[in-house]
């Protein structure tokens, strides 16, 4: 049987539209089973808590469990790679963050390319750091600290939660932009670093607000400035570093990613729900309790943010010649 040209074109067009229709139908029914959310850090930290908070919201809104699965190791690379290797169907999410932007340059040989292999879904939270000193340091402000450090070379030891950590890079950026001489002292995590700061073995740290705010409120550590472009809701009276060092900005941040080639409709559906959650007063208040602020936006905006952060920290890592442990 011969087909007319018009009939042939009609059938061809119908066939071509089937994948798009099936993807749309798939997105309409998503999720139809439990979703794994890989958090590449141990339980209990601000990043883990933010994922659990958002996971509960998504479970309630979408009618399927969003199960948090902690897969720590290699600075977050083990958990991220697990998601990279997962099927692109939206049933395995990644908690992504500033560590991914840093690791892209810090680690010379990764088994994946974060920007190429992970599709951004949405940001969740920006986490300010706060520059805090042991009370034995006479400086009361960031400018006083800069002057003191320059007049006392070799006497300022800067702690961090490890080589290549957001605390480390925030300090290196500060050194680069101010010319302040500081000796980096890496620890295995923020808790032991703060312990030695309290004991006076080190003099300064750029610490996540949630980790140090208790010591600040108790008067055991002195805050000089927060690292974000705007002041922190949790420390409203503390100025930003940028008020004294123009264009300085550094912060941790977390969001959601999926393996590349996950259907666009699923990415958009997840983004819409996360944006709705971030507008909820209770969710916003809980993020403030964690020392953070909302990082909302479209997948395209989150992708732009990731690219800019990756480029920014690549420059700092190369200039400071930082190597992974």
Residue 107 pLDDT level (bands cut at 50, 70, 90): very high
Q: What is the pLDDT of residues 31-74, one digit of tens each?
A: 999 999 999 998 988 889 999 999 999 999 999 999 999 999 99
Domain contains 165: yes
One domain, residues 174 and 81: no
One domain, residues 219 and 259: no
One domain, residues 236 and 138: yes
What six digits make up the tokens of 76? 């977050």
Residue 252 pLDDT level (bands cut at 50, 70, 90): very high
The parent domain of residue 93 ranges over 33-127+252-320
One domain, residues 123 and 152: no
CA 132 to each of CA 53, 129, 156, 241, 295: distance values in angstroms, whole numbers, following the listed order: 28, 9, 13, 12, 24
Q: Which domain-ending residue is among 243, 260, 283?
A: 243
Mean pLDDT, the chain, whole residue set: 92
Q: Which domain-ending residue is among 218, 243, 268?
A: 243
One domain, residues 75 and 154: no
One domain, residues 234 and 276: no
One domain, residues 195 and 233: yes
Domain contains 21: no
Which 3 state secondary structure label does DSSP give 145? Answer: helix
One domain, residues 100 and 196: no
Distance between CA atoms of residues 152 and 146, nearest Å: 10
CATH number, domain containing residue 153: 3.40.190.10
Q: Which domain-ending residue is among 195, 217, 243?
A: 243
Domain contains 279: yes
One domain, residues 39 and 114: yes
One domain, residues 226 and 138: yes
- What pTM, to 2 d.p., does this model score? 0.88
Domain contains 1: no
- Quote the pLDDT of residue 157: 98
Domain contains 5: no
How large a percentage of the chain has pLDDT more than 90?
84
Q: What is the pLDDT of residues 175-195, one digit of tens each?
A: 999 999 999 999 988 899 999
Domain contains 271: yes
Q: What is the pLDDT of residues 195-245, one digit of tens each?
A: 999 999 999 999 999 899 999 999 999 999 999 999 998 899 999 999 999
Domain contains 28: no
CATH number, domain containing residue 101: 3.40.190.150
Distance between CA atoms of residues 155 and 158, nearest Å: 10
- Quote the pLDDT of residue 6: 64
One domain, residues 58 and 143: no
One domain, residues 200 and 268: no
What six digits make up the tokens of 306? 């990731």
Domain contains 291: yes
- Quote the pLDDT of residue 263: 97
- In 65-193, which ranges are E strands? 66-70, 92-97, 118-133, 157-160, 183-186
Structurally, the chain folds into a number of domains equal to 2
């Amino acid at each position: 049987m011969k087909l007319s040209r018009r009939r042939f074109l009609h059938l061809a067009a119908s066939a071509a539209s089937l994948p798009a229709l099936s993807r749309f139908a798939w997105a309409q029914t998503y999720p139809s089973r439990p979703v794994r959310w890989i958090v590449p850090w141990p339980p209990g930290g601000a990043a883990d808590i933010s994922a659990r908070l958002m996971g509960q919201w998504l479970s309630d809104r979408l009618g399927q469990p969003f199960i948090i699965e902690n897969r720590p190791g290699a600075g977050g690379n083990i958990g991220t790679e697990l998601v990279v290797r997962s099927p692109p169907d939206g049933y395995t999410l990644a908690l992504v963050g500033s560590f991914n932007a840093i690791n892209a340059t810090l680690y010379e040989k990764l088994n994946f390319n974060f920007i190429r292999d992970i599709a951004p879904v949405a940001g969740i939270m920006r986490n300010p750091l706060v520059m805090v000193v042991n009370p034995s340091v006479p400086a009361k402000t960031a400018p006083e600290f800069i002057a003191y450090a320059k007049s006392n070379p070799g006497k300022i030891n800067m702690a961090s939660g490890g080589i290549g950590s957001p605390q480390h890079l925030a300090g290196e950026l500060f050194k680069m932009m101010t010319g302040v001489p500081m000796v980096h002292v890496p620890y295995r995590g923020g808790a032991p670093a703060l312990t030695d700061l309290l004991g006076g073995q080190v003099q300064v740290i750029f610490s996540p607000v949630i980790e140090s705010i208790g010591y600040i409120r108790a008067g055991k550590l002195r805050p000089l400035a927060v690292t974000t472009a705007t002041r922190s809701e949790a420390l409203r009276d503390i100025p930003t570093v940028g008020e004294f060092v123009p264009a300085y900005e550094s912060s941790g941040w977390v969001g959601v990613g999926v393996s590349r080639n996950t259907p666009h409709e699923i990415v958009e559906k997840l983004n819409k729900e996360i944006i709705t959650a971030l507008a909820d007063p209770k969710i916003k208040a809980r993020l403030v309790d964690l020392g953070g602020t909302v990082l909302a936006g479209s997948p395209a905006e989150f992708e732009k943010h990731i690219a800019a952060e990756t480029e920014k920290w690549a420059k700092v890592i190369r200039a400071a010649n930082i190597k992974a442990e």
